[in-house]
Structure 1
Amino acid sequence: MRRSGRWGAAAAVIVVACMMLILPLWQLADWHRTRAEQEDTLELLYQVADFQMELLGSTLGDAAQLKSVGQLNEWKQSAYAVGFVHDRLSQAVGNRDLPRLESVNALLQWIMRVQVGGDRTLRQEESELLKETAQRFRSMAETYAKLMDGGSIREGARSRLVQEDGELAALILKKLK
């Protein structure tokens, strides 16, 4: 009887030791799988944001044909969509790693201010700002397309995007004053 008690205790020790080895390995594998799923989700969110940037870029491409303030509604909707999706992406990766697009927010403010007076013909300086904004935004959209790789932010593209965004935001905000 004593002999079977020793084997039982040894078996219990072996089972506990195996559990102590297997459980951390199991948790590590689960953590890795969860991280891979998170990277996939970030990549999909980035693709949506990049698509919205492309749409806004194509909408802004019509800047030369705009004649009235009422025609800015499509710009406003596209800019809002870009801002919304980019803010969600920024929150997902961390606001420090990917800051907000201040130029998009500035463009929305400018459009709303211009539209407050109702539908009217665009002024010369407003048309020039729209053309300049369209040109600079195309460059931003190209940079945005290179922003992420496999769920991680490319630092060079991020720095360039922050610079281009800041310059465009400053241009628009100067017109708001």
Structure 2
Amino acid sequence: MGRGLNYFVTLNFLHTDCPPEEVSARFEKLRDNYFAPWLRRCGPPGRKEPPPTFVWALENSGGCLNAHWLVHLPAGRIEDFKARLPCWLAKVAGEVVEGAIHIRKALTPRGAIKYMIKGIDPFYAEVYRIRPSDQGEVVGNRSNFSRSLGPSVKKALQAAGRMKPTRRIGLPRKNIAAAAALPPA
């Protein structure tokens, strides 16, 4: 789609005044009320900008309550994003102390996604070849993606030959024979 996920942003909400039970809702507010409108304004006058493109996940383990956000940032707008993000975070989460925000280029977006979903159920982790780990309790949504990466976009990319169809999730292939040998319930 020409909007590769090129930056990996981590927001540590323990370095803010945000109560842990409100992190999911406040992060949604940051994306919807600040990031998305900013992104829509980033193009030349008269040109309709594409919708935001991102994937995100929350984790609450090891003494960190983080939002990991893999996002597409247009060329020429990265420094502006870095300058505005602390203000946006302060507006939704209260006081922000140093160390709350970490922004870096996403050199391997697939690897970043695997890292983000490491809290996956162990059954599915085997299917996707991810080493699962407990990511603690999160109130609200733990992860999601932008509408610009939804099912209709996936179908269009597959039809155009730009994306391989994904395999249906079921029993991992090596467990199918074992499951077939089990007596009926």
Task: Give the structure with the larger strand fraction.
Answer: 2
Between structure 1 and structure 2, the one with the greater Rg is 1
TM-score normalised by length of structure 1: 0.24
Of structures 1 and 2, the one scoring higher in RCO (CA 8 A, sep 6+) is: 2
Q: Normalising by structure 2, what TM-score?
A: 0.23
